[in-house]
Structure 1
Amino acid sequence: MHRKVFASKVFDRKVVMISGGCAGIGRALAVRLAQAGARLVILDLQREALDSLVQHLADHHNAEALGLCCDVADAEAVTAAVALAVERFGGIDVLVNNAGVTHRSSFTDTDLGVFQRVMAVNYFGAVHCTQAALPSIIARRGQIIVLSSLSGFAPLLYRSAYNASKHALHGLFETLRYELKGSGVNVMLVCPGFTATDLRKNALVGDGSVAAQPPLAMGKVASPQDVAEAIYSGALKRRRLLVLSNVDWRARVLARFFPRVFERVLLPRLSGMKPSEGEAG
């Protein structure tokens, strides 16, 4: 995809905080925003990956970046990270709630701890980051960008905890958008489709252990760079909802209005099941 790197100055010198920013969509978005002149605050769990990305952004994009080790599930750690970011850059203009974890296991085979961990990262991580950064975002009339999923409106088999966390994000941030009406703050929910990231390499299984999952039988897969470009364009326009799913309108319409057709036609494929399989592969 052709990228007009210097087409807009909207994000020039703006401070953007990205959770889970060292890999996949988060990293691609950090690079894209650095190209647009933004100053980055990147939260992640891996110190080496953070240092490497900060150096890359400085060397290749002449970007100011602060990398902070932070588990977004830890409210106190997030509050401290936001305070450091504000001290360093003076405030936060844009928050990207990107950090996430997934799992693949049936509901009956999934320990309670897996549900708790998925919600702690995917949902409460976004709560913690947003609560800590919101005063600055309101003061700067900024943006909150939330990485949801096609599972936010169309269920996927064997991901009950993951699906629930994405539905929770929609409930939270659609409400927050209304509460912030008139403040100048934009809230954009982003629903990517299948994307070539490392998320599945760290997927949880039913007992809470980590196990890389086999590739899904899901057809076309988007690159993190193309997803980041779409998010960047949506942020420029201050969109409210950005659906980038490979099956976009079909999944939304069928799941909402024709659930039986969705279950028969799309659900198996979206869940990674081959036609001959009786369950997700």
Structure 2
Amino acid sequence: MARGAFQQKVVVITGGCAGIGRALALRFAHSGARIAILDVQDEPLLAFQQQLMDKLNAEVLAIRCDVADPQACEQAICQVLEHFGGIDLLINNAGITHRSTFAETDLAVFQRIMAVNYFGALHCTQQALPSIVQRQGQIIVLSSLSGFAPLLYRSAYNASKHALHGLFETLRMEVRPQGVNVMLVTPGFTATDIRKNALVGDGSISQQMINTPFKVSSPSDVADDIYRGAVKRKRLMVLSNVDWRARLLARWFPGLFERWMLPRLSGVKPQR
């Protein structure tokens, strides 16, 4: 892959060991970027760092970080700044989900989903923003089609994605005059482990498989699209496999959306 816009740029990716985050690290490393990977996994984190260094000759910093912990985020971003001298692009990718009805979902599950999906992005962005402003860089946030078309049995997840849109659409307007771009990305069904590791109402890991009625995208294809969007400094990328139908029906024909598309999108019945 040709090197270009991100040659020697510093790219920070949360949740960078698996799924879309891993594919993004590979894609930006191919482009010549210097990569910082934040993840909660220890051994996979170090193994992936070594892979990027050995196979792509990439400059990579691997940091164990639970983005739900504000102090851990502060320390991680400080390490990045000390090592690389600045940050050009922050990709808030870390996220978790659940499958359970609102009535059967413990408060702790709501708190955990918001802590990772929403506050994790907030913590990292607060710490990285001064350097990104100085370099007139970018912030990318991985949202979901549920940011505009809610899914059944995902009330906490849906809420976290709506919160991301509220936060980062406001931030975009505030930092645009300073030369900073904020891009929200809404992938559709993608072949990652997030569905396999979904929480249920009591906070345990679901063992129930989800049936996906739509074509599933590969993480590498999603990463390629995000890379192209970053090069063009787009403000929104809707990559959903059901993008225009879900958006159109949810906004203009909510009754039809709830009867026809919502059950198909949601895929499974909940379990506690």
Cα shift at 1:209: 1.1
Aligned to 1:234: 229
Q: What is the match of residue 32 of structure 2?
A: 37
Equivalents in 2 of 1:110, 1:138: separation in Å?
A: 39
Find the residue that maps to 1:11 and give its secondary structure: coil
* Equivalent residue number for residue 259 of structure 1: 254
For structure 1, the residue ranges without an aligned partner over 5 or more in a row are 274-278
Match in the other structure for 2:123: 128
* Cα pair 1:271 1:280 within 8 Å, conserved: no
Paired amino acid for 1:208:
G
Aligned pair partner of 2:220 in 200, 221, 225:
225
Equivalent pairs, count: 271
Higher mean displacement: 105-114 or 212-221: 212-221
2:87 to 73, 89, 92: 92
Q: Of residues 143, 146, 162 in structure 2, which corresponds to 1:148?
A: 143
Unaligned segments of structure 2, at least 5 residues: none
Displacement of 1:99 in angstroms is 0.3
> Could you tell me how far 1:131 is from its partner in structure 2?
0.1
* Equivalent of 2:71 in 59, 67, 76: 76
1:107 corresponds to which residue? 102
Regions of 4+ moved over 3 Å? none
TM, length-normalised to structure 2: 0.98
CA RMSD of aligned residues (A): 1.1
- What letter matches 2:191 in structure 1? A
Query: TM-score, normalising length from structure 1?
Result: 0.95
**Quick one: distance in 2 between partners of 1:217 and 1:55?**
34
Corresponding residue number in structure 1 for 2:112: 117
Q: CA deviation at 1:215?
A: 2.8
Matched residue SS, 1:200: coil
Between the aligned partners of 2:68 and 2:174, the Cα distance in structure 1 is: 24
User: Which residue of structure 1 lines up, in the alignment, with residue 168 of structure 2?
Assistant: 173
**In 2, Cα distance between the equivalents of 1:82 and 1:247?**
35
Identity across aligned pairs (percent)? 68
CA contact (8 A) 1:200 1:212 kept: no
Any idea what the Cα deviations from partners look like across 1:131-164, whole Å, max 9, x if unmatched?
0000000000000000000000001000000000
2 CA distance for matches of 1:140 and 1:40? 16
Offset, 1:61: 0.8
Q: Which residue of structure 2 lines up, in the alignment, with residue 62 of structure 1?
A: 57
Question: Contact 1:272–1:280 (CA<8 Å) still a contact in 2?
Answer: no
In structure 2, the residue matched to 1:158 is 153
CA–CA distance in structure 1, aligned partners of residues 75 and 22 of structure 2: 22
What is the Cα deviation at residue 280 of structure 1? Answer: 5.9
